[in-house]
């Protein structure tokens, strides 16, 4: 069965989330009180409904209580954002992601049990800045302000060594969660070793995906090739 999502608030952020989910074969209920925004998504998501999301009855009539994940993308009207969130929690939806427009807003959302708070502009700005400072970090996922998952080229010093012998955990405090080998397989696909064993070898030209504290990752980056 397709995964079911509700996206509440169809500004730039909410609309983009809804469209990306729908393009990836997910069932999306898109909700906004603005008729024009609802109309824009009408043919592109499973259900696009004009309603005031602070109205529990209207949300239930749209079937929002049945979704696996809800995304609350109401920024400016903090009161509406909080009210909607409480209604969704009351409906028993456990996995809720919400957009915040300020730190205080974000803190309130976390206190009320949101699983993930996003600050679209801040998050994107940080990603762009990090890309400028550390272009060798091909991909960077911030798990918390202190911990991240990053892709980086395997340092030459590790070439031919196993993950254990490279002492990635003991000396650098990071865990290797995947290794991408250089080149492609016969079918043209990338060669990934996901969840590698401690005995798996690192070769020059490999890309490592590591999880760890930002400071530890930074130390590793210093010995990675540019």
Q: Are 204 and 159 in contact (CB under 8 A)?
A: yes
Q: Supply 42's token pair.
A: 């009408």
Q: Which stretch binds ligand ATP (CB under 6 A): 31-39, 60-68, 86-94, 205-213?
A: 31-39
Q: Give the chain's radius of gyration (CA, Å).
A: 21
Around 53, how many Cα atoms within 13 Å sit in the side-chain half-sphere? 34
User: Of 5-13, 124-132, 163-171, 185-193, which segment contacts ligand ATP by CB under 6 A?
Assistant: 5-13
Stretch that binds ligand ATP, among 26-34, 129-137, 146-154, 163-171 (CB under 6 A): 26-34
Sheet holding 27-32, edge to edge: 47-50, 27-32, 4-8, 69-72, 95-99, 116-118
Task: Identify which of residues 30 and 209 has a Cβ nearer to ligand ATP in the complex.
Answer: 30
Q: Considering only CA atoms, which of 64, 78, 68, 71 is closest in space to residue 116? A: 71
Q: Does 105 bind ligand ATP (CB under 6 A)?
A: no
Residue (55 or 151) nearer to ligand ATP, CB: 55
Report the residue number, 13 or 172, with the smaller CB distance to ligand ATP: 13
Pairs from 131-135 (Cβ < 8 Å, separation ≥ 24): 134/221
Applying the rule CB under 6 A, the residues between 39 and 98 that interact with ligand ATP are 52-54, 73-77, 80
The CB-of-41 to ligand ATP minimum distance in angstroms stands at: 11
10 near ligand ATP, judged by CB under 6 A = yes
Q: Kindly determine how many residues on this chain lie close enough to bind ligand ATP according to the rule CB under 6 A.
A: 20
* Contact set for ligand ATP, span 108-137 (CB under 6 A): none
Interacting residues of 135 by C-beta distance below 8 A, sequence separation 6+: none
The binding site for ligand ATP (CB under 6 A) comprises 9-14, 31-34, 37, 52-54, 73-77, 80
């Amino acid at each position: 069965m397709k995964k079911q999502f509700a996206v509440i608030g169809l500004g730039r952020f909410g609309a983009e989330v809804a469209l990306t989910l729908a393009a990836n074969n997910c069932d999306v209920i898109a909700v906004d009180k603005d008729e024009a925004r609802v109309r824009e998504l009408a043919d592109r998501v499973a259900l696009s409904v004009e309603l005031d999301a602070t109205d529990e009855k209207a949300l239930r009539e749209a079937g929002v209580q049945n979704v696996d994940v809800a995304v609350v993308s109401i920024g400016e009207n903090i009161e509406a954002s909080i009210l909607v969130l409480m209604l969704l929690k009351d409906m028993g939806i456990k996995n809720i992601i919400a957009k915040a427009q300020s730190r205080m807003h974000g803190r309130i959302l976390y206190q009320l049990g949101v699983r993930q708070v996003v600050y679209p502009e801040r998050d994107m700005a940080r990603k762009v800045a990090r890309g400028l400072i550390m272009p060798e970090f091909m991909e960077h996922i911030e798990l918390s302000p202190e911990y991240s998952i990053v892709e980086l080229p395997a340092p030459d010093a590790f070439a031919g060594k196993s993950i254990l012998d490279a002492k990635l955990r003991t000396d650098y405090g990071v865990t290797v969660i995947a290794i991408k080998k250089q080149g492609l397989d016969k079918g043209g696909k990338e060669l990934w070793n996901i969840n590698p064993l401690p005995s798996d070898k690192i070769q020059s030209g490999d890309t490592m995906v590591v999880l760890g504290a930002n400071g530890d990752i930074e130390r590793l980056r210093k010995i990675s090739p540019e």
